[in-house]
Structure 1
Amino acid sequence: MLVGREQELGDLLAVLSARPAVAMIEGEAGVGKSRLAGELIAQPDLAGLRILTGYCQPLREPFPFGPVLEAVDGLRGYTHPFQRARLSPVTGMLRDLLPELSEHLPQSPAPTGDPQAERHRLFRAVREVLAAAGPALLLIEDLHWSDEGTRNLLSFLLSNPPANLAVVLSYRREEVAGGVPLGRAYRPPPRAGSIVVRLRPLTLDHVRTLATCILGGSVPLDFATRLYERTAGLPFVIEETLRAVRSSAGGVPLDGAAARRLLENAEVPVLLREAMAERLASLSGDAIALAQAVAVLGTPATLEHLREVSGLGDERCRTALGAALDRGVLHELDECVYGYRHALARQAVYATMAGYERRRLHVRVIEVLRRLDPPPLVRLADHSRQAGLTEDALRYGEAAADAAVQVGDTATATHLLQRLLNDPGLPAGDVDRLAIKLGEIAHTGLDQRDPSTTLKRLLDDPRLSAAARGEVRLFLGWMLIRQAEGLDEGRAAIAKAVDELEDRPDLVARAIASLALPYLGTTPLARLHPWTQRLKVALKSVPEGELRMSLLANYLPSLVTVGDPGPLRVPDQASGPGAQRHLARLRCNLADSCVCTGRYEQAGHLLRDGLHLAAQVGATFVTSTGQATQARLDWVLGHWDGLDERTLRLLEEYRDLLPVASELSLVLGWLATARGEWEEAESWLAGTGIAVPQESIIPVALSAFAARARARLARGERELAVTDVERGLHVARTKGVWAWTGELVPVAVEALLESGRAEEARRLLAELERGLAGRHAPLAAAAVRMAGGQLAQADGEPAAAHFEEARRLYEELPAPYYAALAAERLMLSGGAVEELAELGDTFAALGATYDAERCRHHLRTLGVSVRRGRRGYGDTLSPREQDVARLLATGRTNREIAGMLFLSPRTVETHVARILQKLGKHSRTELLK
């Protein structure tokens, strides 16, 4: 009986009944993902679909696409695998990969010689075959174990799924880098239905129901409570535990007391192990040997491989397999492929074996795997390690890491290299080579926190030679400056590496380029000048190539970000994959610098080209920075529709990368501020680095100070707002870069004026004008006019011309939100209040609901009637009631809603009463359910 998953099953069916559709089932090990997927495909509503299933395995090989091809191969079970009579020639790409379907496929097309083109043709072939096989449901289980190629193929497929295809993916979120199963943020196309089902552990009530079903009788609440506490509500652990309890009773139904006694005698960490041990005890010696062979193999296997590893003859192996299947120890996971249903079950059996026996079987597995073509290097490395064959483990592990890098799977490569480097018996020469290789690979990928810990440990390892130490320290420094609270430590490591790399001028130049970056931390720009001068000297002597492109990727954006007025000359192309990766980085870095200073049109062009090139060459870290810049650019350009959802997905993926996560948090903070969601804004802005500016990306931190000060001014927290702007201005003065203050200065002037500190505001404006002299920073230039208007208005002088010019400059950038803020000031200073209603609609169209309500509040204060649509809404909520209901749904109090909508608490109370009456609710609590 399926317990506690009725809602999830219904939601899945509702989405998958209309195709194309994509469903993702996520949850921890043992929470019931496979159980739910199995129940789903058995539903009568999906009876007309062809079910194609593929499984990702825990020992991943750098051989892409395997699970998807396994699923497609399931079509051979159908008499007529394809609904269409003819397939295009591109589907012949699958002929050699799926020989069982060759009679239904056209001849293989001639190779192009271009690996990327070949991969694209393969992707197209898979999509067309799935379209021709439909209506179908593609189920890929355990995506957290997938290789990068499989994730890329699925991303391609899901970006434009066939009209008659449903896709279901299951994965463990905690085992996916960044929590993103496809390796990057996924947004379904508009025509496709989509759902993410997050399976949680069962509640106490559900545990009790499940226990009642399994034990065949009423279960006391205290027993269910203890079971719930001991199993954390994981269905698989509950089921296996209760089956073990029932087995201990000899199949006789247990009453609550007896079940409680058995449960009390079992320790939580070994419940599953004991259950599997009981099952093994009921098997023959041959069946136990076979079960142990499968446990050591680690992945599902054919009967032939099981026979070789177990050492049983053909007939004995078949008999043993039948017994293991009958007892539920093993399962047929695919046609003639056998294994454990869950990794936990395999681990439980593995733990029952003596060490010497495990090693003996690992050696047998190695003998079997060596004969495969190509040899599965990851599995060979793993089995060699567990067999105690250290030299083989090293040889296979390094070869597997190299192979993973070749197909762009840096996560697998870094994991393998770290495992090798954790061996205390690794020879010194191997430590040098592998440590450098780990640094080279890891600093270009997304998983940098764990590798940096490994490298940091190796710097204190006497096996690491002096010659390798500087290189390892440099890679460590590059990774640390991308981590929260690692900036100072990272810069110190890079500076020390410069002294240790005298024999490597290429690496010294790259280290200097990193130390010259102006936006990292609060080090004054003047103190960075020596590094900048050394970088300029190095560039004069470095010829065209990868090294030069690497240096330019730091140097040119640094010029732009500090407002250098010189012409921007970006290389058009680069030769070789290394130089192309740095060209992609150059374009994305330049785009980010342009966004910081207000050169938005240039930023858009650079970002488009940079992200396209980064995707082509597999530069995952560059892609992450470019996507964060795109989110901030979308914020400035007013492209807010769905921006918070897109940004949240990216933040989940890149939360461990400081430059990326802080910028994404900034976008979410500004969005919340514009909507008047003060607590959310405070929470997001805390992730931008403003608490510790010396460890932050300074242009991001300055913008965050501006956002938080604006939010605090809106809440009437004047002194706190002044504190924020003073801290931000202190950072700007310390850095000596005023090109980054375009968002901060207008808020700072407003806060100072409201606090009666007009003279400080005047000095600030003069300071800004001096700081911008000879600099190209369009956003800050517009801020000068905005602040000038604020000061003129405070002095009782004509301010309209200032605000009109500020609006024009903001519109030219373009920055529609800031242009609207300038327009609001203009209308209030010039008396054109009748235009405020239209401006309120402009804010509302952007998504700046708080600013829209402020404009309407101005009108009401001035005695101008504000109409929002027709009168007489009957049982339908009026627009104002919809606004109040939206905030009620977030748990806001009447007073909070009043402040956000510029209403009196009494008016909000009236609206709440009407909303409850129209919706048939009796209380706010009932409304929230």
Structure 2
Amino acid sequence: MGDGVATPRYVRSGSSPMIGRDAELAALLAAARDAPSVAFVEGEAGTGKTRLVTEFAAAARAAGAWVVTGSCQPLPEPFPYGVLLDCLSQCGERLGEPGPVTGALRDHLPELADRLPPAPRALGDPEAERHRVFRAVRDLLGALGPTVLVLEDLHWADEETRRVLRFVLGNPPPGLSVVATHRRADLPAGAPLGHAFHAPPGVTGINLVLRPLGAADVRAMVDTLVGAAVTSAGFAEVVVRETAGIPFVVEEAVRALRDPVRDVRTEGVAAQRVLAAIDVPVLVADAIQERMAALPAAARSIAEAAAVLEVPEAVEVLDAVAGKASPEDLIALVRSGVLVEAAPNRYGFRHAIGRRAVCAALPGPRRWELHERAAAVLSTVDHLPLVRLSRHAKAAGMTAEWLRYSELAAEAAEDAKDVPTAVDLLSQVLADPLIGAEDTNRLATKLCGYALTGLPGGELTARVEGLLADPRLAPDVRGEVHLWFGLLLQRETEGVDRGAEEIAHAIDLLGDQPERAVRGLAAMAGPYLGSTSIAEYQASLGRVEEIIEHLPTLALRTAMLATTLGGRLIVGDPSTWERIGQLPSPSEVHEPEEIHHLARAHCNLADACSWIGHYPQARKFLRTGIALAERVAASYVVGTAEATAVRLDWLSGRWSGLEQRIDRLVGSYGNLLLATDLNLTRGWLAAARGDWMRAEGAFEAAAGSYPVGISAAGGMAGMLLGRGETAAAVGHVDRGVAMLRRKGAWMWSGDILPQAVDCYLATDRAQDAHLLVAETAAGLNGVEAPLAQAAMTACHARLAAAANNDEESDRLYQQAIDQYRALGLPYRVTQLAEQAARADPAVLDMLAQSYDTLGATVDAARCRHHIRGSGTPTPSRRGRRGYGSELSPREKDVARLLAGGHTNREIAQALFISRRTVEEYVVKVRRKQNAPSRHDVHS
């Protein structure tokens, strides 16, 4: 193809797939089998009537039926009997012995002239002639034998066709089935056959009404159109709102997407923006303009006003914007399907894309006039619709009003906890180069403040970054924008290093304004960022704390405490508990900014407690922090709290539904740094359940950052060691231990120290194990880290056992078990009890049951494997129930691993059973799930 020629994204090969009409198809087929029959299929334009009867015709033909189809055409003067004659002209080969009356059709059907009797003598009476034609049509249909007659768009049929159909269906030939589609709004007499029709006795009659599709069916349709099952539920819901679920409009909207496979994965606001950015599909625009052209001028004016107003409005508002119109005009609009009554006395477009099509067709002056009128009318109502007023003012070129309404609307959106709307409104204003410097600096400051309460990433971060190039910014405001941009980047998985650079630059720019620079100083003093030692970070925290008491506002002091207190506690500084008293109580904060920072302080303290082992305190801080964050819709703070809550639930053995929660949260926060925390917990959970592929991917996604990366290295090492991959396990341990040493972060060693000692002992590196334990003990001197202390005791027990000092080993194991139990960590308690059990079958059976209760599939299977290896029969469970068609617990384990893509060998290794046994389970699972292959098994 030559240069400059656009390549279409789609090549149409047919109509859209039939989705959500299985019941209707079954009803049509059943009626056809019970001939004689008549079925009317009703639906507004685009609901899929043609697709349905096409599928019906194909299925009926496949079942051996003779099917003939015809379509009525939207002609100014329809041809008499047009669609019936078109159908009958196709049936020459089916004719048996047509009766003499059928000769009345010779002149109408030249294709059948040689097969029909001679034309009868003219009667001279038009009514008698018409009656003879009616009889001829019925007799000719009877001569065809069993026939399915499909007639589309009966609303465009001529009156003679309707009359002859009423005549035929009043006493139809025995094998005749008629299926007719129509749009009720376009029927000239309100009924498909001109008058109410009821199937007579002996004739099967059905009436089907095709409704728009719901979200589930739209999602399936979009998946089919893009050729992959990737559509998010949120995207499907937005498509329903934008298209009213009308299949034709859904198809055209999807074909207009710029990057369909990527776009259909979006959710919420992002999905709305994707659909708002598409060009109005040509076929949708043509359809709506065709209807508009048939309307009186006054009715078109109302439709144009409704298009500009965007949402359904009262008749009074439509009149005021459009100019006075009569009730007859509104009735014409509703009957034509251009407008619908969305609520009593409120009228608007059926779907947003149709509304946009009318807007796009308006000449510029007319569009500006309508927007100006809309702004004038809406500015007089109670409870001003500020967002809409902002849009109308912008579209009408009313710059001063646009700025005023946008700022007021952004403030209202913040009050309503709708941060994306607030940011979007101010971003649009700031993008206008005609806005003055004073307004620009004020709004830029507001926008960045809003941005820090929402979820960073993507468009939000890009909009803050875009402000940096604005020449209208004053130097101090530019410095603050650099600071806010850096703070946003530090929350993103790939933005930590660049964020630190931006914050350092901001500190330089704001050097003479410490009250503005202090947030950057506090952020740079975060002990979990970079590889600088904990000791250096503590010194930085000390310098920041000297400034806090001199800060001018409660919000700023609370913001600094939120960072410094969490930073001190996460490194195990015992002085933090006294410093926490500097925070205001929840009852002392009233402004949104104060509430936001106090929420952040409590959630940061909860996170710190969860890493060093103060779990009850973590939950207490978390409850307060979430309650505060939800008061001001601090989305990012809520996200960090949810990630902490997930990890706490894993640690405390609350695993039910945890995998689904993690998947949902990763979907929401996948590009943010807090997703590494979620992936760590996902890895722990998957490893305990034998889903090694998922666990490995999750641990890799959690690697690198502090302290998550240290725990991820320990999790990966423990999983590999359990699989007998000792060399690989040692590699991960060495990486995690190197992170500990480089940072001096011994308080974060609780999730890697036991795995490291096990790996070193398994590879004859006992000296390395003793050295690591000694280093950790020295590093924990004066540090408050209950989890690391418990891990130390467990390691001493393991070292004593390796030295065959059974008495000391037993004592230390029991001490470690007591420490972990006091911390509320049942999985760690059970693992230690298993290590201390010395292969006692009775103890192992009890522990297997404990693992089962938690959901630790691999550990339970390992215990039972050791019992079998000892030669002791596995105890029988009394009252063991049969599962029938349901999956047994072991079959569920196999199904879950199959769904995760594991081979039979991997499943056998995870569950400590033979591959032959796995094969038997796979057969049972597939049979119970009716799965054609192992790839169709679901968990």
Structure-2-length-normalised TM-score: 0.68
**2:775 alignment partner AA:** E
Which of 686, 689, 693 aligns to 1:679? It is 693
**Within 1, Cα distance between the matches of 2:660 and 2:938?**
22
1:489 corresponds, among 487, 498, 504, to: 498
The structure 1 residue matched to 2:798, chosen from 786, 790, 794, is 790
Report the secondary structure of 1:338's partner residue. Answer: strand
Cα 1:682–1:3 change in 2 (3 A) is same
Give the deviation of 1:306 after TM superposition. 1.4
Q: How far apart in 2 are the matches of 1:32 and 1:785?
A: 69
The 3 A distance-change label for structure 1 pair 716 and 198 is farther
Conservation of the 8 A alpha-carbon contact between 1:276 and 1:349: yes
| 1:600-643 Cα shifts (integer Å, max 9, x gaps) | 12212222222233334544432222222111111111111222
Q: How does 1:109-508 map to 2 (within 5 A)?
A: 199-201=219-221, 235-237=247-249, 269-311=281-323, 313-315=324-326, 318-446=327-455, 449-508=458-517
SS in 1 for 2:760: helix
Q: Please give the alpha-carbon distance, in whole angstroms, between the structure 2 residues aligned to 1:328 and 1:240.
A: 19
- 1: CA distance between counterparts of 2:392 and 2:601? 42
Query: Structure 1: how far apart are the matches of 2:868 and 2:600?
Result: 51
Decide whether aligned partners of structure 1 residues 874 and 543 sit closer, same or farther in structure 2, where only a CA change above 3 A counts: closer
Which residue pairs with 2:178 in the alignment? Answer: none
Matches within 5 A, 1:759-798: 759-798=767-806
- The alpha-carbon deviation at position 524 of structure 1 amounts to 2.7
* Aligned partner of residue 520 in structure 1, secondary structure: coil
Partner of 2:557: 548
Equivalent residue number for residue 4 of structure 1: 19
**2:916 matched residue in structure 1:** 906
Pick from 652, 665, 668 the counterpart of residue 682 of structure 2.
668
After superposition, what is the alpha-carbon deviation per residue over 1:446-470, rounded to whole angstroms, capped at 9, x for unaligned? 3554232122122122221212111
For the Cα contact (< 8 Å) 1:552–1:586, is it kept in 2? yes
Please, which of 519, 529, 539 is the counterpart of residue 510 of structure 1? 519
In the alignment, which of 718, 732, 744 is matched to residue 724 of structure 1?
A: 732
Q: Which AA in structure 1 matches 2:812? A: H
Contact 2:555 2:594 in 1 (8 A): yes
- What CA distance in whole angstroms lies between the structure 2 residues aligned with 1:665 and 1:795? 37
- Say what the alpha-carbon RMSD is for the aligned residues: 3.4
Q: What displacement does 1:677 show? A: 0.7
Shift in CA distance, 919/454, structure 1 to aligned 2, threshold 3 Å: closer
Any stretches of 5+ residues in structure 1 without a counterpart? 10-29, 34-169, 173-195, 208-230, 243-266
Distance 1:610 1:590 in 2: 9
Match of 2:110 in 1: none
Q: Which sits farther off after the overlay, 784-793 or 743-752? A: 784-793
- Rounded to whole Å, the distance in 1 between the matches of 2:226 and 2:491 is 44
Instruction: Give distance in 2, aligned partners of 1:796 and 1:863.
Output: 25
Tell me the residue number matched to 2:610.
595
- How far is 1:928 from its partner? 5.8
Q: Following the alignment from structure 2 to structure 1, what is the Cα–Cα distance between the partners of residues 444 and 436?
A: 12
Which whole-Å deviations, capped at 9, do the CAs of 1:655-706 have from their partners, x for residues lacking one?
34322x2222222221111111111112333332x1xx2xx3x112221222
Q: Deviation of residue 835 (structure 1)?
A: 0.2
Q: Quick check: 2:571–2:747 contact (8 Å CA) kept in 1? A: yes
**Match of residue 754 from structure 1:** 762
Corresponding position of 1:897: 907
Q: Return the alpha-carbon distance in structure 1 between the equivalents of residues 282 and 676 of structure 2.
A: 42
Aligned counterpart, 2:27? none
1:241 CA drift (Å): 10
Instruction: Decide which moves more: 448-457 or 473-482.
Output: 448-457
Q: 1:906 to 1:326 in 2, by over 3 A?
A: same
The alignment partner of 2:284 has SS state of helix
Q: Is the 8 A contact 1:202 1:235 kept in 2?
A: no
Q: Is the 8 A contact 2:895 2:938 kept in 1?
A: no
Change (3 A) 1:921 1:438: closer
1:853: how far off? 0.8
- Secondary structure at the residue paired with 1:333? strand
Q: In structure 1, what residue type is equivalent to 2:911? A: L
Is contact 2:538–2:568 with CA below 8 Å preserved after alignment? no
Distance 1:241 1:663, change over 3 A: closer
Higher Cα Rg, which structure: 2
Residue in structure 2 matched with residue 85 of structure 1 by the alignment: none
The higher relative CO (CA closer than 8 Å, separation ≥ 6) is in 1
Mapped to 1, the partners of 2:506 and 2:23 lie a distance apart of: 54
Q: What is the deviation of 1:344?
A: 0.8
Instruction: Tell me, in whole angstroms, the C-alpha distance in 2 between the residues paired with 1:200 and 1:923.
Output: 22
Aligned to 1:280, what secondary structure does the other structure show? helix
SS in 2 for 1:866: coil
Q: Aligned in 2, Cα 1:425/1:921: closer, same or farther, shift over 3 Å?
A: closer
Q: Does 1:650 align with 2:665?
A: yes
> Which residue pairs with 1:117 in the alignment?
none
Distance 1:437 1:517, change over 3 A: same
Say yes or no: does 1:821 pair with 2:841.
Answer: no
Call closer, same or farther: CA 1:881–1:447 in 2, change over 3 Å. Answer: closer
| Distance in 1, Cα, partners of 2:863 & 2:432 | 66
- Cα 1:747–1:171 change in 2 (3 A) is farther
Deviation at 1:760, TM superposition (A): 2.2
Counterpart residue number, 2:874 = 866
Q: Distance in 1 between matches of 2:860 and 2:821?
A: 19
Contact 2:606/2:622 (CA < 8 Å) preserved in 1?
Answer: yes
Kindly tell me the number of residue pairs found equivalent between the two proteins: 691
Structure 2 CA distance for partners of 1:575 and 1:206, relative to 1, 3 Å: closer
Structure 1 residue 521, shift from structure 2 partner: 3.1
Cα distance between partner residues in 1 of 2:802 and 2:478: 60
C-alpha distance in 2 between matches for 1:478 and 1:920: 52
Q: 1:919 to 1:471 in 2, by over 3 A?
A: closer
Shift of 1:171: 10
Question: Which amino acid counterpart does residue 249 of structure 2 have in structure 1?
Answer: V
- d(CA) in 2 for partners of 1:879 and 1:241? 45
Specify whether residues 914 and 338 from structure 1 end up closer, same or farther in structure 2 by C-alpha distance, changes over 3 A only: closer
Task: Give the Cα separation in 2 of the matches to 1:364 and 1:920.
Answer: 62
Identity %: 41
CA-to-aligned-CA distance 1:774-794 (integer Å, 9 cap, x gap): 111111111112222333333
Give unpaired runs (5+ residues) of structure 2: 1-15, 25-44, 49-212, 228-242, 255-278
Distance 2:458 2:505 in 1: 20
Counterpart residue identity of residue 450, structure 2:
I
The offset of 1:906, in angstroms, is: 2.0
Q: Secondary structure at the match of 2:501?
A: helix
Distance 1:727 1:304 in 2: 71
Asked if residue 524 in structure 1 is aligned to residue 510 in structure 2, the reply is no
2:706 matches 1:704: no
Q: Distance in 1 between matches of 2:604 and 2:360?
A: 50
Which position in structure 2 is the counterpart of 1:734?
742
For residues 520 and 253 of structure 2, what CA distance do their matches in structure 1 show?
A: 56
Q: Which residue of 2 aligns with 1:586?
A: 601
**1:634 aligned onto 2:649:** yes
What is the TM-score of this pair, normalised by structure 1? Answer: 0.69
The answer (yes or no) to whether the contact 1:411–1:447 under 8 Å persists in 2 is no
Mapped partners of 1:203, 1:833: distance in 2: 52
Give the secondary-structure state (helix, strand or coil) at the position aligned to 2:494.
Answer: coil
Aligned match of 2:108: none
Matched, 1:621 2:636: yes
Q: CA deviation at 1:770?
A: 1.6
The residue aligned with 2:542 is 533
**Corresponding position of 1:49:** none
Question: Residues 742 and 576 (structure 1 numbering): CA distance in 2 closer, same or farther, change over 3 Å?
Answer: same
